């Protein structure tokens, strides 16, 4: 298995192989390899190869790249597509593979055709934004995806500014903002139906669903759980990893299940367990490492399929698995949980995310809280008299 973030692996023949990305004008992204007898040898060769590649790119003549060298002043003729490929190569070396795949897919699907042929210049920002907005207007895209497209475009331009001394204004996001939609949750009636179905005939996958209702785990975090993540003595669960199915690099149809660190550093967290859910898990405990997958992580698509069967069995309309996390968070807020505590349990990087997403008082809640005012004013009146 490759060392995280380094693209170094031990081959079946015993040798170590390191791979680095090169951009070819005709073939796009290609890989070159270096080999050695030890990991340290390959790491040194890989570093040397990458440095040589960087120097080669920066020292090319203007006729080859359409751009002056960095020390010769700003570049105004380099294509957006060329900088994008260089930025993606940098991301592949420094970030998680799943992050690279996400960014590469966004660029290839939404930016390459729309702005790939744009040249960096004084008017590049307005031209790029106009082309992106035109693309978004022709496609029905979620608010989150629109923001991600804008984010990737801006990161590419920041990279261009840093590497080629290009002074360019970043994309304005105001043109692609939409009003945020309230999160979808199970109604109280639907929750009652689901819980009744789970307790009527419990199995491994129903316990997994119940665990999400009690902890707010994401799907990938649930599928990656190991028994070593549980501390039944202290009644807690530690989130250490996640799994997701992602595309094989440069592949269109092939995918594989990747086990990696959680979504962010804040996603690594400890969640308290109730006695009820701990008891169910103890009954389920076996000798295989993964709680719900056995010898390997549970396939997220399998859990999603089982969840949909549970909904059918309970007589509930089809929903996305993530509704369990939203339902958990909303229930916690309605039961008076401190927002900061909930934010940490959910693994949010900022308590504002929790506030904006889940703290939306209902009319009944507002009526109930305002109903306390007569007693409050009565106490004030009593003090005066």
Q: What phi, psi does 71 have (nearest 5°)?
A: -80, 0
Same domain, 222 and 146: no
Q: Is the distance from CB of 330 to CB of 183 less than 8 angstroms?
A: yes
List the beta bridge partners of residue 230: 237
Sequence-distant (6+) residues with CB within 8 A of 161 are 167, 168
Same domain, 13 and 96: yes
Rounded CA gap, 227 and 215, in Å? 16
Same domain, 28 and 51: yes
Same domain, 249 and 327: yes
Sequence-distant (6+) residues with CB within 8 A of 13 are none
Q: Could you tell me if residue 170 is inside a domain? A: yes
Nearest to 81 by CA among 159, 21, 133: 159
Q: Could you tell me if residue 377 is inside a domain? A: no
Nearest to 232 by CA among 285, 288, 268, 269: 285
Same domain, 281 and 347: yes
Domain that holds residue 42: 8-176
Question: Which CATH number goes with the domain that contains 17?
Answer: 1.10.150.130
Q: Could you tell me if residue 210 is inside a domain? A: yes
The DSSP result for 157-200, as a single string, is HHHHHHHH----PPPPSGGG--PPPPPP---HHHHHHHHHHHHH
Alpha carbon dihedral 374, 367, 338, 198, in 10-degree steps, equals 140
Alpha carbon dihedral 326, 328, 329, 330, in 10-degree steps, equals 80
Q: Could you tell me if residue 103 is inside a domain? A: yes
The DSSP result for 221-246, as a single string, is HHHT-BGGGEETTTTEEEE--EEEEE
Nearest to 115 by CA among 92, 86, 84, 89: 84
Q: Could you tell me if residue 298 is inside a domain? A: yes
Q: Could you tell me if residue 372 is inside a domain? A: no
Q: Could you tell me if residue 379 is inside a domain? A: no
* pLDDT value of residue 307: 97
List the beta bridge partners of residue 30: 22
CA atoms within a 13 Å half-sphere pointing along the CA-CB vector of 231: 9
- Which pair of tokens denotes residue 333? 């807020």
Same domain, 260 and 117: no
Same domain, 328 and 218: yes
The DSSP result for 308-373, as a single string, is HHHHHHHT-----TTHHHHHHHHHHHHTT--HHHHHHHHT-SSHHHHHHHH----HHHHHHHHTTH
Q: Is the distance from CB of 244 to CB of 220 less than 8 angstroms?
A: yes
**Each residue's pLDDT expressed in tens, for the chain with a length of 385 residues:** 444 446 788 888 888 888 877 766 566 667 788 888 888 788 777 777 766 665 555 454 444 444 544 444 445 567 888 888 889 888 888 887 778 888 888 888 888 888 888 877 655 566 777 777 777 666 677 777 888 888 898 888 888 888 877 767 677 655 555 555 678 899 999 999 999 999 999 999 999 999 999 999 999 999 999 999 999 999 999 999 999 887 765 555 577 888 888 877 888 999 999 999 999 999 998 889 999 999 999 999 999 999 999 999 999 999 999 999 999 999 998 888 899 999 999 999 888 888 888 877 667 777 877 888 888 888 888 766 5
**Which of the 8 DSSP states describes residue 251?**
-
Total of domains in the chain? 2
Output the CA–CA distances (angstroms, integers) from residue 225 to 289, 309, 310, in the order listed: 9, 22, 21
Nearest to 24 by CA among 232, 355, 289, 250: 250
Same domain, 355 and 217: yes
Q: Is the distance from CB of 263 to CB of 242 less than 8 angstroms?
A: yes
Q: Could you tell me if residue 3 is inside a domain? A: no
* pLDDT value of residue 33: 85
* pLDDT value of residue 151: 87
Residue in the structure block whose two tokens are 């420094």:
94
Rounded CA gap, 289 and 124, in Å? 53
Rounded CA gap, 20 and 47, in Å? 9
Same domain, 107 and 19: yes
Same domain, 39 and 74: yes
What's the distance, CA 44 to chain centroid? 32
Same domain, 156 and 95: yes
SS3 293: coil
Same domain, 92 and 216: no
Question: Which CATH number goes with the domain that contains 203?
Answer: 1.10.443.10
């Amino acid at each position: 298995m490759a060392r995280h973030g380094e693209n170094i692996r031990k081959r079946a023949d015993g040798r170590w192989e390191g791979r680095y990305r090169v951009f070819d004008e005709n073939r796009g992204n290609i890989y070159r390899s270096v080999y050695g007898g030890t990991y340290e040898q390959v790491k040194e060769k890989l570093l040397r190869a990458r440095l040589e590649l960087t120097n080669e790119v920066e020292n090319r003549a203007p006729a080859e790249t359409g751009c002056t060298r960095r020390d010769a002043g700003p570049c105004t003729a380099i294509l957006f597509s060329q900088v994008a490929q260089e930025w993606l190569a940098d991301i592949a070396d420094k970030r998680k593979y799943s992050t690279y795949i996400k960014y590469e897919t966004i660029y290839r699907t939404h930016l390459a055709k729309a702005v790939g042929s744009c040249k960096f210049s004084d008017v590049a920002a307005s031209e790029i934004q106009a082309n992106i907005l035109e693309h978004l207007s022709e496609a029905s895209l979620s608010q989150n995806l629109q923001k991600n497209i804008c984010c990737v475009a801006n990161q590419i331009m920041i990279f261009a500014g840093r590497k080629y001394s290009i002074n360019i204004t970043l994309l304005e996001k105001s043109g692609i903002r939409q009003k945020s939609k309230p999160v979808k949750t199970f109604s109280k009636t639907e929750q009652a139906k689901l819980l009744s179905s789970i307790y009527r005939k419990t199995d491994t996958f129903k316990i997994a669903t119940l665990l999400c209702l009690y902890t707010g785990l994401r799907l990938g975090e649930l599928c990656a759980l190991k028994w070593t993540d549980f501390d039944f003595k202290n009644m807690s669960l530690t989130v250490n990893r996640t799994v997701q199915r992602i595309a094989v690099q440069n592949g269109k149809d092939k995918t594989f299940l990747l086990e990696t660190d959680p979504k962010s550093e804040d996603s690594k967290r400890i969640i308290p367990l109730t006695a009820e859910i701990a008891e169910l898990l103890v009954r389920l405990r076996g000798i295989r490492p993964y709680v719900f997958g056995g010898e390997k992580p549970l396939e997220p698509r399998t859990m999603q399929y089982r969840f949909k069967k549970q909904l059918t069995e309970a007589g509930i309309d089809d929903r996305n698995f993530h509704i369990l996390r939203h339902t958990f968070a909303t229930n916690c807020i309605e039961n008076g949980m401190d927002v900061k505590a909930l934010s940490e349990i959910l693994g949010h990087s900022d308590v504002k995310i929790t506030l904006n997403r889940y703290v939306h008082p209902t009319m009944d809640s507002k009526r109930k809280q305002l109903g306390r005012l007569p007693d409050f004013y009565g106490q004030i009146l009593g003090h005066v008299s």
